[in-house]
């Protein structure tokens, strides 16, 4: 193993309060140990000698999602079902950019023979793809005031027509910062591209009006398509009705000039355009934003937006129709920003069921070579399969009645869209007989808690007494998205089920300070009559009130829309070392899977510090390795040259809000030479 450059300084800035499901889950695991008293050793994998086949294809990983369509699939075949058990750690890179509150969710991209990635606090690093040795580093030095969980999921790359021999910045890295800047740097040197914006920087705050500290910034990479760099941004949940607008913008990849802006207002309202902003206007406030990864189809010239919610998340009485695009997939013309179609996955979203995962493009199996399609996974555990040129569902989507009776002044949608195929990844309800507990005492407490809450199944409106939101605010499926093997017509997705309690409190009855994070605690919802309080559904011992599995991996046959196989993802080994591997009950998970032509699924994501490989056809686990920290990121794979090895790389840096300790490792695996 080659351990690449390690930076000794690991000092950080003050973060925020880190509260999440994972911290309670860790306490739960310890309690399981006390109750069960089982000891089981960690089962390892012995890597035997293997002959490396160098006759197969060479392929890179040019985008965070693998390609512009986010397929998370590689045509590489050097690593197969038969030899994956021989994988060994080839090198490890540690950036030194880690604090107790950072999360390392990055997926590197391959640019020529280098991996380029961002650290949680916006340092951009280029490392040798075969040795892991650092080549250059650029520090964007963002203002981190108010950022309780610094993170960065990746960067984007584009080649620009040369200005002549030796011209700089013909190969560019684009990324967003935690203080709302879009930057371009030279992929060869890490130096800013001075002809982009102002000395390499575009100020994303322009046109947004009043901004509070840490209210608007980028965590996901931009998307480069049709000569434009397209950006969305994170807007802090639950703060106020007049939150910054969720405008999506496209900037010229050479100059940084604003080309178009999509102001997501209903069709009966005039959107604010790029020209309007140049004349001094502000984008419409309170509109849905796009904080996760975008996708694009170069052939049709479309860019696909996974939309968040109009502000605020859990009370819609003051939105005035601005949730027209909430929780929807929107297709735009990549050159002009004009809307082509949209499909809403939740009507009048009151549950924070914004679309968290990247729309994934694929060819749906069928006559004539198939149909251009899009797969969209949601926090509800739904997977919508749509025609990507029209937005029409490939399998029927039914509008079904849902529970009614929200709080005063709220209007609840009478129906919601349910895909008929694929079936839901999770149950839609938590009936009394399914309420879980490790011991009879714990189960009785959970039953008492659940009985005190409104619990009418999925889409139960938020309530004064408290509503169970199932499978949970984090999903279902979050930003890790899905992987599609179009050759075999197979979709693989990891998901979790960790219900939350959402309680609506009249403002005059709210007590104490309104402090919280994007997961738990109080949110002020300024401009409404109500405060909202969110918390995971756990007993007083910190135990889940829902039965396992709490995390799972699912394979879907795209041709039929049926589930091929499903298995728990994760065990309690890390959380309860003496016995935890015995309990394959799944864990909360963040990060996504990838598939390869070698028939292997690779996924980290779990809280147990384990990186796994599965047989894509059967779901059988073929290999696992212990990581230095939980791998809450989507892996990637590449092979640089015909004489080279296929590497599989994952970021192992924990996830602060989930309760996984922070780290800074990028770990590469390959077959032994």
pLDDT one-digit tens code per residue, 167-180: 889 999 999 999 99
Predicted pLDDT of residue 43? 39
Task: Determine if the peptide bond prior to 262 is cis (ω within 30°).
Answer: no
Mean pLDDT for the stretch of residues 570-584: 62
* 353: exposed, middle or buried (Cβ count in 10 Å: 0-12, 13-18, 19+): buried
Predicted pLDDT of residue 40? 33
Q: Could you tell me where the beta strands, DSSP code E, fall in 155-215? A: 156-159, 171-176, 181-186, 201-203
Mean pLDDT for the stretch of residues 100-128: 98
Contact 471, 465 (CB under 8 A): no
Predicted pLDDT of residue 585? 87
Which residue did the predictor score with more confidence, 8 or 497?
497
All domains of the chain, ordered by start, with CATH?
Answer: 2-670 (2.140.10.10)
Task: Evaluate if residue 10 carries a pLDDT over 60.
Answer: no
Predicted pLDDT of residue 515? 73
Contact 372, 359 (CB under 8 A): no
Residue pLDDT, tens place only, 340-372 = 999 999 999 999 999 999 999 999 998 877 999
Active-site residue (options: 186, 297, 352, 608): 352
Indicate the average pLDDT of the chain: 91
Predicted pLDDT of residue 159? 96
Predicted pLDDT of residue 13? 25
Residue 444, SS3?
Answer: helix
Task: Evaluate if residue 571 carries a pLDDT over 90.
Answer: no
d(CA 635, CA 654): 14
Task: Write out the two tokens for 41.
Answer: 């050793």
- Which of 145-159, 314-328, 428-442 is least confident? 428-442
Whether 352 is catalytic is yes
The residues facing 375 across adjacent strands are: 360, 385
Distances in Å between the Cα of 626 and the Cα atoms of 485, 603, 650 are 26, 13, 12
d(CA 375, CA 489): 12
**In the chain, what percentage of residues exceed pLDDT 70?**
90
The residues facing 139 across adjacent strands are: 123
CA dihedral 552, 558, 559, 564 (to 10 degrees): -10
Mean pLDDT for the stretch of residues 257-266: 98
Instruction: Name which of 289, 140, 173, 293 is nearest 221 in CA terms.
Output: 293
Predicted pLDDT of residue 511? 74
The residues facing 66 across adjacent strands are: 63
- Read off the pTM: 0.93
Mean pLDDT for the stretch of residues 211-226: 97
Contacts of 348 (CB under 8 A, 6+ apart): 316, 323, 326, 411, 412, 413
Confidence of residue 541 (pLDDT cuts 50, 70, 90): confident
Report the half-sphere exposure of 180 (CA within 13 A, side-chain side): 20
DSSP secondary structure code for residue 545 in this structure = S
Q: In what order do the strands lie in the sheet with 530-536?
A: 467-469, 500-506, 530-536, 521-523
Predicted pLDDT of residue 575? 52
Q: Which helix (H) or strand (E) holds 23?
A: helix 21-36
3-state secondary structure 63-78: ECCECCCCCCEECCCC
Instruction: Name which of 227, 276, 228, 219 is nearest 249 in CA terms.
Output: 228
Q: Which helix (H) or strand (E) holds 534?
A: strand 530-536
Residue pLDDT, tens place only, 590-633 = 999 999 999 999 999 999 999 999 999 999 999 999 999 999 99
d(CA 427, CA 664): 36
Predicted pLDDT of residue 150? 96
d(CA 528, CA 240): 8
Confidence of residue 163 (pLDDT cuts 50, 70, 90): low
- Report the largest interatomic distance among the alpha carbons of the chain, rounded to a whole angstrom: 75
d(CA 606, CA 567): 13
Contacts 24+ apart (CB under 8 A), 522-527: 523/237, 523/238, 523/239, 523/312, 523/313, 523/314, 524/238, 524/239, 524/240, 525/238, 525/239, 525/240, 525/241, 525/312, 525/314, 525/315, 526/239, 526/240, 526/241, 527/240, 527/241, 527/242, 527/318
Residue pLDDT, tens place only, 644-659 = 999 999 999 999 888 8
Mean pLDDT for the stretch of residues 80-99: 98
Task: Evaluate if residue 30 carries a pLDDT over 50.
Answer: no
Task: Write out the two tokens for 512.
Answer: 């104490």
Distances in Å between the Cα of 548 and the Cα atoms of 134, 453, 455, 534 are 42, 21, 19, 22
Predicted pLDDT of residue 582? 55
The residues facing 482 across adjacent strands are: 493
Residue pLDDT, tens place only, 297-306 = 999 999 999 9
Predicted pLDDT of residue 6? 39
Residue pLDDT, tens place only, 42-89 = 334 445 568 899 999 999 999 999 999 999 999 999 999 999 999 999
């Amino acid at each position: 193993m080659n351990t690449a450059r390690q930076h000794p300084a690991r000092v950080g800035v003050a973060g925020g309060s880190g509260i999440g499901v994972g911290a309670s889950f860790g306490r739960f695991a310890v309690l399981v140990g006390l109750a069960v008293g089982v000891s089981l050793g960690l089962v390892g994998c012995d890597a035997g000698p293997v002959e490396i086949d160098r006759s197969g294809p060479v392929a890179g990983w040019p985008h965070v999602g693998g390609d512009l369509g986010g397929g998370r699939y590689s045509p590489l075949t050097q690593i197969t079902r038969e030899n994956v058990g021989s994988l060994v750690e080839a090198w490890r890179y540690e950036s030194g950019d880690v604090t107790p509150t950072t999360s390392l969710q990055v997926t590197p991209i391959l640019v020529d023979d280098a991996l380029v990635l961002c650290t949680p606090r916006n340092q951009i690093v280029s490392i040798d793809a075969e040795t892991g040795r650092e080549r250059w580093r650029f520090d964007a030095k963002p203002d981190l005031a108010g950022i309780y969980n610094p993170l960065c999921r990746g960067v984007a790359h584009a080649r620009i027509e040369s200005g002549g021999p030796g011209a700089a910045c013909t190969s560019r890295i684009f990324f967003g910062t935690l203080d709302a800047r879009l930057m371009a740097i030279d992929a060869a040197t890490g130096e800013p591209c001075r002809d982009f914006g102002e000395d390499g920087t575009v100020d994303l705050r322009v046109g947004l009006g009043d901004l509070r500290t840490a209210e608007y910034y980028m965590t996901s990479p931009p998307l480069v398509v049709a000569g434009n760099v397209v950006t969305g941004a994170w807007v802090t949940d639950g703060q106020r009705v007049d939150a910054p607008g969720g405008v999506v913008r496209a900037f010229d990849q050479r100059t940084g000039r604003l080309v178009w802006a999509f102001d997501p207002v209903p069709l009966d309202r005039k959107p604010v355009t790029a020209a309007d902003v140049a004349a001094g206007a502000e984008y419409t406030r309170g509109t849905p934003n796009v904080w996760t990864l975008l996708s694009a189809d170069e052939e049709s010239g479309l860019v696909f937006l996974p939309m968040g919610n109009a502000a605020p998340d859990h009370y819609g009485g003051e939105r005035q129709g601005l949730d027209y695009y909430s929780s929807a997939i929107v297709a735009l013309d990549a050159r002009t920003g004009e809307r082509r179609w949209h499909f809403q996955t939740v009507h009048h979203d009151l549950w924070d069921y914004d679309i968290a995962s990247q729309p994934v493009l694929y060819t749906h199996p069928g006559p004539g070579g198939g149909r251009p399609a899009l797969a969209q996974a949601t926090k509800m555990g739904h997977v919508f399969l749509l025609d990507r040129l029209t937005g029409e569902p490939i399998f029927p989507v039914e509008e079904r009645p849902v529970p009614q009776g929200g709080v005063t002044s709220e209007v609840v949608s009478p129906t919601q869209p349910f895909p008929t195929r694929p079936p839901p990844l999770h149950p839609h309800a938590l009936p009394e007989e399914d309420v879980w507990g490790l011991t009879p005492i714990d189960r009785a407490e959970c039953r008492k808690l659940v009985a005190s809450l409104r619990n009418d199944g999925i889409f139960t409106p938020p309530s004064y007494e408290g509503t169970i939101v199932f499978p949970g605010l984090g999903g279902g499926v979050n930003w890790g998205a899905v992987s599609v093997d179009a050759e075999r017509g197979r979709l693989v997705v990891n998901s979790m089920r960790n219900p939350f309690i959402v309680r609506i409190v009249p403002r005059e009855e709210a007590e104490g300070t309104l402090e919280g994070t994007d997961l738990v605690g109080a949110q002020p919802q300024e401009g409404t009559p109500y405060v909202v309080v969110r918390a995971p559904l756990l007993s007083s011992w910190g135990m889940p009130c829902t039965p396992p599995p709490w995390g799972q991996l699912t394979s879907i046959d795209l041709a039929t829309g049926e589930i091929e196989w499903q298995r728990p993802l994760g065990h309690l080994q890390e959380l309860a070392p003496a016995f935890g591997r015995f309990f394959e009950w799944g864990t909360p998970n963040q990060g996504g899977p990838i598939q390869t032509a070698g028939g292997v699924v690779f996924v980290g994501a779990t809280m147990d510090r384990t990186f796994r490989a599965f047989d894509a056809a059967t779901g059988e686990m073929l290999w696992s390795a212990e990581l230095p920290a939980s791998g809450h990121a989507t892996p990637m794979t590449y092979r640089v040259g015909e004489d080279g090895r296929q590497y599989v790389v994952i970021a192992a840096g924990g996830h602060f809000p989930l309760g996984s300790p922070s780290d800074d490792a990028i770990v590469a695996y390959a077959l032994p030479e």
